Amino acid sequence: MTESTITRPAPRRLTVWGLLGALLLTLGGCTEKQPLYQQQLLALGTLIDISIYGSDETTAQTAIKEVQGQMEQLHHNWHPWQPGKLMEINRKLAAGEEAALDDEGRFLINRGMTLSQQSGNLFNPAVGGLIRLWGFHSDDWSGKQPPAAADIATQVAAHPQMSALTLEEHRLRSQNPAVTLDLGAYAKGYAVDIAIKTLRQHGINNAIVNAGGNLRLIGSKGKQPWRIGIRDPRGTGVIASLESNSDEAVITSGDYERYFEHQGQRYHHIIDPRSGYPARGVIATTVIAADGLTADAASTALFIAGPDHWYQVAQAMGIKEAMLIDEHGTVHITRALMQRIHFEQKPAPTIHLVD
């Protein structure tokens, strides 16, 4: 790995790089009325924004209605703490029993096992017990406080890992009863993949689906590429933008979506499986990949890897376009992604360029 430092004027604390908040910007110089259909859904515990270009309203509405049904079914099937398929799988694994999987379940768990291995187990969907211990299995974090250190240590010592799973055809079992699957680290990425597939089946070839910052896009906005704004996770406004007219996913992970504060310290939901505590040293990561599931998993792994090791993990996972924002506001970014970024605000942050 080679690293070069681009020294820019020191960023103000409230203008450090943010995550791809998927703010769709109006492209400059375009005055023509565009056939752009937009709709917002509430599913998967987040707002899902869908933008479709060049299709008639009836087609768009029909496709989006199907997408909404799929999102609701995904939430029911794969929520780890509500009755559904995943809850039943976890119950059987904890009891040492074999769990039966449908095609979707087999795909999700098989991909999770592969991506976990590639990341050196930093991406680890088997740590559902830790997620529950920290209270991030619910949507209400008011009054939360960190769990007891002894309880965290017990969870870590049990070594719940995806490598403890054995997957044979559509049968799953675990050598470790401490394994509790939580697919939250890549479920939204998978969901936007499914949504794009459905839109295509309806003849829609130009669209963006954004599930709470987990974004996948296809095609373009007429003669212009889609333009995605990058926001500041510690402030407001757009400081940079990214253009795309291809089929790709842009996924972010940050410490600002699900967190609580206790005695002046922020505790977020991205848990380092090695320590059992929220990962430190990073504000946000952004990954671009061909599919949302892979990008979602990688963004979590890079966040946990931290400023010193993120690039090695990105390489191991086959990621070429990625960036990490450390706790000081410095941007660590691959050359491939740096070539596509346009800074909207000044001063820009200090950048560490790697390739």
The 10s digit of each residue's pLDDT in 157-179 is: 999 999 999 999 999 999 999 99
48 or 234: whose pLDDT is higher? 48
In this prediction, residue 194 carries a pLDDT of 98
Token pair for 346? 């000044």
Tokens 């206790």 sit on residue: 262
Say if residue 20's pLDDT is above 70: no
Sheet holding 99-100, edge to edge: 99-100, 171-174, 165-168
In this prediction, residue 240 carries a pLDDT of 74
Lowest-pLDDT range of 25-29, 152-156, 263-267, 343-347: 25-29
Give the integer Cα–Cα distance in Å for 71 and 28: 33
Give the integer Cα–Cα distance in Å for 326 and 319: 19
C-beta separation of 208 from 200 below 8 A: no
Give the integer Cα–Cα distance in Å for 111 and 133: 25
Say if residue 32's pLDDT is above 60: no
3-state secondary structure of 115: helix
- Give 52-105 pLDDT, tens digit per residue: 999 999 999 999 999 999 999 999 999 988 999 999 999 999 999 999 999 999
Residues of the chain with pLDDT > 70, as a percent, come to 88
3-state secondary structure of 318: coil
Say if residue 9's pLDDT is above 50: no
Domains in the chain and their CATH numbers? 3-77+186-354 (3.10.520.10)
| Cis amide bond preceding 347, omega within 30 | yes
C-alpha pair distances (Å), 41 with each of 65, 68, 210, 227, 305: 9, 7, 10, 21, 33
Q: Is the pTM of this model over 0.85?
A: yes
Average pLDDT of the residues of the chain: 88
Lowest-pLDDT range of 122-126, 232-236, 257-261: 232-236
Phi, psi of 113 (to 5 degrees): -65, -45
In this prediction, residue 23 carries a pLDDT of 40
In this prediction, residue 34 carries a pLDDT of 61
Say if residue 215's pLDDT is above 90: yes
Alpha-carbon 354 to chain mean position: 22
Q: What share of the chain is helix, strand, coil (3-state, %, to 5)?
A: 30, 30, 40
In this prediction, residue 15 carries a pLDDT of 26
In this prediction, residue 347 carries a pLDDT of 83
In this prediction, residue 239 carries a pLDDT of 66
In this prediction, residue 44 carries a pLDDT of 86
